[in-house]
């Protein structure tokens, strides 16, 4: 048996909605470019479900982050606090909008941005904080928002992995000034490539400017609503509108938010339950979910004693048909990070944890025989590791616990 790391889940309505979008355009009753009927349906569903002031579909999670960054109007020298343990899109968005990334550590428990290190890195040039909700598990948002409030900083939530997850009962992406979602093929809810910007303010000027930047710097959205008799170029901007064909696919996914999440949680919980004995035996460490977080089962990872054990496990599982993978290489130690003056050793917690992490296959609709196959192969591998390892892990079930010794 071969089990892929990821497999898109279909709800059953994707193709019929795509056909409807195309047929409507052919009949002259709609269009398949941006901001068509299905775009509005998807946006309205998210606004209603998540409680966001305004949701704007974008071509990707990357473009949502860029749009949020441009809305903050960074000036030369403005600094933005961001974890190094994230995808390049988070930081590229800051850079293309004129900001300077300042990398901070992650917590040992959740692998999310560390509020204590945020405090240490704030200067008189800091303009914003970009928390990344790793694996769909919320950052410590109350602490982060308090820090931001005390220093007059904007907060942009990178909730690319956090759609339909919550912090203290509030949906991720709706807590900061802006939230950014991704609907990439590897995410929980997908349309191949896609994203959304959540604007969490009732300031009409900010809402209008978000629309303008998204629509190539024009006030075209106001024209379509009949608020102006013609549209024109009024600001900088770019084309962040996805095709309505992709929006149709996405709408079919969003209609089944709970169905998809229930399926993923079933897989996640099975992994956790079946692998708990190996954590108790100090062979691995499992994910930490704080009391304030309601996660969405975006991913399931295990942490090994060291990078060598992780790599042996990854190769061993691959040979047996289980496609488990590592995750981010810390950005501060990457070639681009070095151009900003960083080097390996600057963020030791991030470097240590990233080298020990292995993600197991995770997707909605995973078949029972696939899940049993994975758990069996992982279990056998961990038993072999236990027989050959004498390095214990100490367990401290607080957010910053789980220290390697």
Dist. CA 23–CA 249, nearest whole Å: 15
pTM of this structure: 0.94
- pLDDT tens for residues 26-72? 999 999 999 999 999 999 999 999 999 999 999 999 999 999 999 99
Q: Sign of torsion, CA 203 204 209 215?
A: positive
Indicate the domain borders of the chain. Answer: 14-254, 257-404
pLDDT at 226: 80
Q: Kindly tell me the sign of the dihedral angle through the C-alpha atoms of 223, 228, 232, 233.
A: negative
CATH of domain 257-404: 3.90.1150.10
Span 14-254 CATH architecture: 3-Layer(aba) Sandwich (3.40)
Residue pLDDT, tens place only, 231-284: 899 999 999 999 999 999 999 999 999 999 999 999 999 999 999 999 999 999
Per-residue model confidence (pLDDT) at position 389: 58
Low-confidence ranges of the chain (pLDDT < 50): 390-405
Residues 45, 80: Cα–Cα separation, whole Å:
31
Rounded-to-integer distance, Cα 273 and Cα 10, Å: 27
At 40, list the tokens: 């509005």
Cα distance between residue 240 and residue 247, in whole Å: 13
**3-class DSSP string for the chain:** CCECCCCCCCCCCHHHHHHHHHHHHHCCCCCCCCCCHHHHHHHHHHHHHHCCCEEEEECCHHHHHHHHHHHCCCCCCCEEEEECCCCHHHHHHHHHCCCEEEEECECCCCCCECHHHHHHHCCCCEEEECCECHHHCCCCHHHHHHHHHHHCCEEEEECCCCCCCEECCEECCCCCCEEEEECCCCCCCCCCCCEEEEECCCCHHHHHHHHHHHECCECHHHHHCCCCCCCCECCCCCECCCCHHHHHHHHHHHCCHHHHHHHHHHHHHHHHHHHHHHHHCCCCECCCCCCCEECCCCCEEEECCCHHHHHHHHHHHHHCCECCECCCCCHHHCHHHHHCCCCCCCCHHHHHHHHHEEEECCCCCCCHHHHHHHHHHHHHHHHHHHHHCCCCEECCCCCCCCEEC
């Amino acid at each position: 048996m071969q089990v892929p790391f990821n497999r898109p889940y279909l709800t059953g309505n994707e193709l019929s909605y795509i056909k409807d979008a195309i047929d409507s355009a052919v009949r002259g009753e709609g269009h398949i470019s941006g901001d068509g009927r299905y775009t509005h349906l998807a946006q309205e569903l998210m606004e209603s479900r998540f409680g966001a002031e305004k949701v704007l579909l974008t071509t990707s999670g990357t473009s949502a982050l860029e749009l949020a960054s441009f809305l903050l109007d960074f000036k030369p020298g403005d600094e933005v606090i961001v974890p190094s343990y994230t995808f390049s899109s988070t930081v590229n968005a800051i850079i293309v909008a004129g900001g300077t990334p300042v990398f901070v550590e992650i917590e040992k428990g959740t692998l999310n941005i560390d509020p204590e290190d945020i405090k240490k890195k704030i200067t008189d040039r800091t303009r914003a904080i970009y928390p990344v909700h790793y694996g769909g598990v919320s950052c410590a948002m109350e602490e982060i928002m308090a820090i931001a409030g005390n220093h007059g900083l904007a907060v942009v939530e990178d909730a690319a992995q956090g759609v339909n997850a919550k912090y203290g009962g509030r949906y991720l992406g709706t807590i900061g000034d802006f939230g950014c979602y991704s609907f990439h093929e590897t995410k929980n809810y997908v349309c191949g490539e896609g994203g959304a910007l959540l604007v969490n303010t009732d300031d009409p000027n900010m809402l209008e400017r978000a629309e303008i930047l998204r629509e190539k710097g024009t006030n075209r959205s106001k024209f379509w609503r009949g608020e102006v008799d013609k549209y024109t170029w009024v600001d900088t901007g770019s084309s962040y509108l996805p095709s309505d064909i992709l929006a149709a696919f996405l709408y079919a996914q969003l209609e089944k938010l709970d169905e998809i999440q229930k399926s993923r949680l079933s897989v996640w919980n099975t992994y956790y339950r079946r692998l708990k004995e190996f954590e108790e035996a100090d062979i691995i460490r499992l994910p930490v979910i704080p009391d304030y977080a309601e996660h969405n089962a975006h991913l399931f990872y295990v942490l090994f004693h060291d990078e060598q054990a992780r790599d042996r496990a990854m190769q061993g599982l691959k040979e047996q048909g289980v496609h488990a993978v590592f995750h981010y290489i810390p950005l501060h130690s990457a070639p681009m990070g070095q151009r900003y003056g960083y080097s390996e050793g600057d963020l030791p917690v991030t470097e240590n944890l990233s080298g020990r992490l292995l993600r197991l296959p995770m997707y909605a609709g995973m078949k029972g025989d696939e899940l049993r196959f994975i758990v069996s192969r992982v279990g056998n591998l961990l038993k072999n590791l236990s027989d050959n390892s004498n390095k214990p892990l100490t367990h401290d079930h607080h957010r910053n616990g789980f220290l390697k010794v």
